[in-house]
A and B are shown apart, each in its own frame.
Chain A
Amino acid sequence: MLILFIADTSAVQDAQRQVPVRIGITPVFLDYQTAFLDDWREYLESQLQRPVEFRQRSTYREIMEMLMQEELDFAWICGYPFVRFRESLRLLAVPIYQGQPLYQSYLIVPESDTDTQSILGLRNKVFAYSDPDSNSGYLVPQFQLHVSGEDRNNFFRRSFFTWAHQKVVEAVAHGVADGGAVDGYVWDTLAKVNPALTSRTRVVMKSEKFGFPPLVARRNVDNGAFQKVQEVLTNMTNDATGSDLLERLNLDGFGRGNVRLFDGIAVLAETIPAP
C-alpha cells in the first residue's frame, strides 16, 4: 500500500510538472520580442521546473477573455483592465521601473511640431491611441480631454488605434498622426534602443504617475503555482540570467506590489466609461 501511495504521489507530481504555465502577453506592451521571450521562457522553465508557454494576442481584450475562460494562468496586462476586472484577478507582480512600480503616459507629437503645449493644442488633428484597454495609451488622454471640458469623442478630426505603444510612436514619427498617447516606459526604452525613431517625436506632456502595468493571475489559479511564479519573478534580480533579462526589459525588477497602486487608474476608469 505504501509503495502504491508513493508511486501515485510521484505520478501526480509528474503530471503537474508536465502541465505548462500559460502566460498571456500582448504586443501592446512587449512588441515582437520573440528572441527575448524565448530566453525568458527558458529561464522561467528552469526556475519553475515546469514548461512555460507564452501566448501572444494582439489586444488586451483578447488576453482578458482568455483569462476569464481559464485559457491562461497568468498575464501581463495594463492597469486599466486590471482595475476593471479586479474581482476576477490576483495581483502577481508589479515591475519596478526606475526604482518605483510606477510609470507615466506621454503625450507625443511629431518633432516638427514645436507649437503644441498640451493635448488641447491638437484640436481637429489626427490622434493615435494604442489600445482601448490601455491606461497610458487611451484612458489618460481621454480623461484629460474630459477634465478640460472637451467633447472627447469629437475633439480630434480623426483618431485610430495602433494596438501597440511602439506603433503609436511610429505613427507620430511618420506623420500619420499629429499626436499620440504612449506608455512612458515604452517611449523611454525605445529612446535607448531606437533613438532614430523617438528623435522624430517630441514629448509634449508627461502625466501623473500610475501603477506600472502588472502581471496578474486569474483568481482561481493554483495557489502553489502562484506562489512559485511570484517567487521566481521577484527573485530575478538575484541571479545573473535574471538580471540580464531584466536589463533587456529595461526594468529594475519585479515586486509583489499592492492593489492600491492602481487606485489612480481606477479613478480615471470610473470617470470615463469603457469604450
Chain B
Amino acid sequence: MYRDLSLRYKVPLRISILILIVVLATTVSLLARSYLIFKQDLFQSSENMGRIMARTLTPALLHDDVWGAYEIINAPFSIDSKDASLQPDMLIVLDRSERVYVSTAPRQYPILSDPALKDEEIAIMKQRLLQRDSMSPEILEMPGFGNIYVVTPIDSDGVLLGRLVMLYSHDIYINRFMTFMRQAAMTAVLIILVLLPIAVYWGRRAAAPLVELSNCMGQVGSSIPVELDCRLTQGGDEIGQLGAQFQRMIGQLREKEAMEKQMVVSDRLAAIGRFTAGIAHEINNPLGGLLNATNTLHKHGPQDPLTSKTVSMLERGLMQIKDTVAALLVEAKPEFHPVTHQDIEDTRLLVMPAAQKKFARLDWVNELHRPVNIPSTHVRQILINLLLNSIEAVPDHGRISCEVSMSDDALRIATNNQGEQISNEELEYLFEPFVSGRESGRGIGLWVTYQIVNTLDGSIEVSSAEDDTRFIVTLPLQRAA
C-alpha cells in the first residue's frame, strides 16, 4: 500500500514525520529538563527562604516571642505575592523538644502540640530527620504522601533552639510544570503548523523531477512517440544526470528504430531486386529465341502480306518486352568511361524540353570540374531519372533544382522539386517497382535508380516536406580499375 504511493506524497510525508519526531523529541527533552530545573529551583529558593527565616526567628525564639515568630513565618502569606507558585503551603516552628512552637496553621498544629501525633507523614518526616540530626537545611521528599519538607535548624551560637519546617505541596511544581507544558505544547503545535506546509512544499519539489522523469519513461512503450512531453530538470545532480541519460537513451533508441526501418526497406528492395532479376533472365532466354525465330521468318519465310504483317506485329511486341526486361536489369558492367562535366551538361539538354513543356524553371549547379572515376552511363541515368521524376512531380511553372558537387571521396547529386509532399507511408515503398501513384510511366524509374546506386555502393536519401521534396545521391569514387 505505502510502497505503491507516489513519491509526490511519500517524500512530503517522510519529511513531515521527521519534523513531527524532531519537534516532539525536542519538546519532550525540554520538558524533562525544565521539570528538573523547576524542582531544583524550588529546592534552592525554599532552602534560601528557610535560612533567612531561621535567622530572623532566632531572636524571637531566644526571647520567647511567640507572636513575633508567628509574624515572621506568616509573612509569606500576608503579602499579596504575584508569583505564589514557590510559596510553601505551611510553616511550622518546632521547639527543642520537637513540639509546635508556633505554626501558620494553628488550628491544625496548635502551640505546644506534638505534630507527629496528628499526622503520620510528619511523624515519618521527624523520624527521618532525627536519623540525620544535622545542623544544615534538609529537604525531605515524602514519596508516599507527595509533600516536600524543607527543614532548617534555628540555632544561636551553635545551640539548637528549634527547627523551621516548611511544607510544600507536590502540586506546587506540578502546577507550574503543567503551565509550562501547555505553553510548550502550544509552541510545538505552532512550529508544526509553520513547518508542515514548508515540508509539503519542499517534499513535492524534491519529488517533482523524479515524478516527471517517471512520466516521461511511461510514455515510452513498444515504440517511441514522435513528441515526448517532457520537462526534465537540467542540472548536475543525480536526477539531472538521469534526465540527460534518459534523453540520450531516447535519441539512441530513435536512431536504432530508424536504422531498423531502413534495413527492412533495404532487405525488401534487395529481395525484390533478386526476384526481378531472376524473372528477367528467365524471360530473356526464350525471348532471344522468339526474336531469332521471327527474324528468320521475316527474312526467309513466305512473303505474303498477311504473314509479314503478323510477323512484324510479333516482332514489335517482343521488342517491347525486351525493352521492359532490359530496363529492369541493370547492366552490371556497362561500357565504362569516367563521368565528366560535359556528361552532366548533356543531361541538362536532354531534360530541358520536358521542363519547358511544363513551363518549369530548372536551377542548375554543376561543380564537377574534372572527370571522376564513376561510370558516366550510370550517373547520367540516375540524373535523368531523378530530373524527369521531378519535372513530372512539379505543377506548371514550378521550380526544380539540381546540384552536382564533389567532395574528397564522393560525388553528390541533389535534386529538389516543388511537388506535392510524399507521405511517410509512400516514402517507405517509394523505391519499389510498379508502385508509382502516377498513371503515366511504368513506375520503375526510381527502382532502377536505386538499383544503380546500390551497384555503385552509393546511398540514396529522400525527404519530403511541403513544397520541397529532395533526393540526395552520394556515389563513392571508384578505385581506378
**Which residue numbers of A lie inside 8 Å of B, CB to CB?**
112, 126, 128, 157-158, 160-163, 167, 171, 174-176, 178
Is there an interface contact between B112 and A158, defined as CB atoms closer than 8 Å?
yes
Is there an interface contact between B67 and A126, defined as CB atoms closer than 8 Å?
no
CB neighbours of B66 from chain A (8 A): 158, 160, 176
In the complex, residue of chain B having the shortest beta-carbon distance to the beta carbon of A164: B67
Partner of B70, one of A158, A163, A171, A178: A171
Instruction: Flag whether B94 is at the interface (Cβ < 8 A).
Output: no
CB neighbours of B110 from chain A (8 A): 126, 175, 178
Instruction: Flag whether B107 is at the interface (Cβ < 8 A).
Output: yes
* 23 A-B pairs whose Cβ atoms sit less than 8 Å apart in the complex: A112-B107, A126-B110, A126-B111, A126-B112, A128-B67, A158-B111, A160-B65, A160-B66, A160-B67, A161-B67, A162-B67, A167-B67, A171-B70, A174-B70, A174-B74, A174-B106, A175-B106, A175-B110, A176-B67, A176-B70, A176-B106, A176-B111, A178-B110
Could you tell me the distance between the alpha carbons of A126 and B74 in the complex, rounded to whole angstroms? 18
**Which parts of B308-342 form the interface with A (CB within 8 Å)?**
none
CB neighbours of B67 from chain A (8 A): 128, 160-163, 167, 171, 176
CB neighbours of A178 from chain B (8 A): 110
CB neighbours of A128 from chain B (8 A): 67
Interface string of B41-74 (1 = CB under 8 A from A): 0000000000000000000000011110010001
In the complex, residue of chain A having the shortest beta-carbon distance to the beta carbon of B108: A175
Could you tell me the distance between the alpha carbons of A160 and B64 in the complex, rounded to whole angstroms? 8
CB neighbours of B102 from chain A (8 A): 176
**Which parts of B65-101 form the interface with A (CB within 8 Å)?**
65-67, 70, 74
In the complex, residue of chain B having the shortest beta-carbon distance to the beta carbon of A129: B67
CB neighbours of B111 from chain A (8 A): 126, 157-158, 176
In the complex, residue of chain B having the shortest beta-carbon distance to the beta carbon of A126: B111
Chain B nearest CB: distance from A152 CB in Å? Answer: 18
CB neighbours of A167 from chain B (8 A): 67
Could you tell me the distance between the alpha carbons of A161 and B67 in the complex, rounded to whole angstroms? 7
Could you tell me the distance between the alpha carbons of A163 and B64 in the complex, rounded to whole angstroms? 13
In the complex, residue of chain B having the shortest beta-carbon distance to the beta carbon of A161: B67
In the complex, residue of chain B having the shortest beta-carbon distance to the beta carbon of A160: B66
Chain A nearest CB: distance from B217 CB in Å? Answer: 86
In the complex, residue of chain A having the shortest beta-carbon distance to the beta carbon of B69: A160
Could you tell me the distance between the alpha carbons of A146 and B209 in the complex, rounded to whole angstroms? 105
Interface centre among B66, B74, B112 (most CB of A within 10 A): B66
CB neighbours of B74 from chain A (8 A): 174
Chain A nearest CB: distance from B229 CB in Å? Answer: 86
Could you tell me the distance between the alpha carbons of A2 and B249 in the complex, rounded to whole angstroms? 136
Could you tell me the distance between the alpha carbons of A167 and B67 in the complex, rounded to whole angstroms? 9
Closest 6 CB pairs of A and B: A160-B66, A175-B106, A162-B67, A175-B107, A176-B106, A126-B111
**Which parts of B384-402 form the interface with A (CB within 8 Å)?**
none
Could you tell me the distance between the alpha carbons of A176 and B70 in the complex, rounded to whole angstroms? 8
Chain A nearest CB: distance from B74 CB in Å? Answer: 8
CB neighbours of A162 from chain B (8 A): 67
